Structure 1
Amino acid sequence: MDKFLYYLVTLFESVLGVFGVRTFYDQPRYAVVERLDRGVEVRAYEPRLAVETDGRGQGDGEAFGRLFRYITGANQRGDRIAMTAPVETGGQRIAMTVPVEQGSGGTMRFFLPRDVAEAGAPQPTEPGVRLVRVPAEKIAALRFSGSITPEARTEQERILTEVLSIAGRKASAPAVFMGYDPPFAIPFLRRNEVAVRLAIP
């Protein structure tokens, strides 16, 4: 895809994202294996490939910038890679954009499209950016809509923790946030989730 068309498609997807339309984004594959109280889903995710960098805390747009530069050509082949969803953040809380994962310790992560992973993703050229393989895993997730405030996220994490405790499930890592829409999406149309990776019994 040439550069102009790539940016045109990315802009079009972003505009649709304002209205909660996310059908064009490649998303990690999973199966819902169990439904718990209050809408909590237990999901089995397939292995996936991501590109990640370390964030520096709340509002770290530079971490997002490093990853965005990777998918727009800062890689060994100069490839432009389609955006995906969801954004996943955990540990330190940082600004949300699509598609990112931030794990414990402030790591921000973009999942790569399946076709890119299968063909062999190009290595990053920017320092501090790396490819990582995420193994198959079980995740418990609670979906909600609205603005992403620290208070909203804390309350949803509390609900998720309470439901898992009652169900006798144990997390293997701190809770993360997964956002499926750009930060400027209409709040009540947003798909937000809090989630935890589950310990294998």
Structure 2
Amino acid sequence: MDKFVYYLVTLVESVLGVFGVRALYEQPRYSVVQHLDRGVEIRAYEGRLAVETDSRGQGDGEAFGRLFRYITGANRTGGLIAMTAPVEAGGQRIAMTVPVEQGAGGTMRFFLPRAVAEAGAPEPTEAGVRLVQVPPERIAALRFTGSLSPQARSVHERTLTDVLAASNQKLQSPPFFMGYDPPFSIPFLRRNEVAARLASP
């Protein structure tokens, strides 16, 4: 795909994202294995490949820019890679694979399309950007629409952790954020999620 077509497709995806249309974005595969109170889902995710960078938190434009540059050519082959959803932000890094926390010591992560992972993703050329293999895992998630303010995120994180505590689920990481839409999307059409990695059952 040449650069003009790539950027045209990216622009169309962004415009559709304003209205909550995200069917063009590839998303990591998962199955819902349990429904808990207040809309919390326990999901089993397949292993996947991501590109990540250190971040100051969910709204870190510099971190997003580094990852966006990777998928638009700042890689060993200069290849263009399709954008996927969600973008992960929030949660302390654990082991070698976990995403971001708002504040110090976090990361931001884009998941790579399966075809790119299977073909061998090109190494990043920009300092501070790295490829990480995320193993299969269980994640608890709570979906919500509307504002991405710190207050809204905090309320939903508290709901998630309360529901998980009431059902004796053991967290492996602090809650993090998964965003499926551009920041300029119509708030009531947005798909936002707070999530937490769970210990193996």
TM-score normalised by the shorter chain: which range applies?
over 0.9
Matches within 5 A, 1:68-79: 68-79=68-79
Per the alignment, residue 62 of structure 2 pairs with: 62
What letter corresponds to residue 103 of structure 1 in structure 2? V
TM-score w.r.t. structure 1 length? Answer: 0.93
Matches within 5 A, 1:104-183: 104=101, 105-183=105-183
Equivalent-residue separation in structure 2 for 1:197 and 1:115 (angstroms) = 25
1:91 Cα deviation (Å)? 3.9
Per the alignment, residue 43 of structure 1 pairs with: 43
Equivalent-residue separation in structure 1 for 2:32 and 2:124 (angstroms) = 33
What letter corresponds to residue 199 of structure 2 in structure 1? A
Equivalent-residue separation in structure 1 for 2:124 and 2:58 (angstroms) = 24
TM-score w.r.t. structure 2 length? Answer: 0.93
Q: Deviations over 1:18-39 (max 9, x none)?
A: 0000000000000000000011
Give the 3-state SS of the residue equivalent to 1:139 in structure 2.
strand
1:60 Cα deviation (Å)? 2.4
1:58 Cα deviation (Å)? 6.3
1:103 Cα deviation (Å)? 2.1
1:88 Cα deviation (Å)? 1.4
Query: What is the aligned residue count?
Result: 193
Per the alignment, residue 10 of structure 1 pairs with: 10
1:161 Cα deviation (Å)? 0.6
1:102 Cα deviation (Å)? 4.1
Equivalent-residue separation in structure 2 for 1:26 and 1:40 (angstroms) = 23
Give the 3-state SS of the residue equivalent to 2:161 in structure 1.
helix
1:189 Cα deviation (Å)? 0.1
Q: Select 1:103's aligned residue among 91, 96, 100.
A: 100
Q: Deviations over 1:117-175 (max 9, x none)?
A: 01100000011110000000000000110010000000001101110111010100010
Give the 3-state SS of the residue equivalent to 2:168 in structure 1.
coil
Per the alignment, residue 25 of structure 1 pairs with: 25
Equivalent-residue separation in structure 2 for 1:28 and 1:58 (angstroms) = 19
Instruction: Flag structure 2 segments of 5+ consecutive residues without an equivalent.
Output: 93-97
What letter corresponds to residue 15 of structure 2 in structure 1? V
1:61 Cα deviation (Å)? 1.2
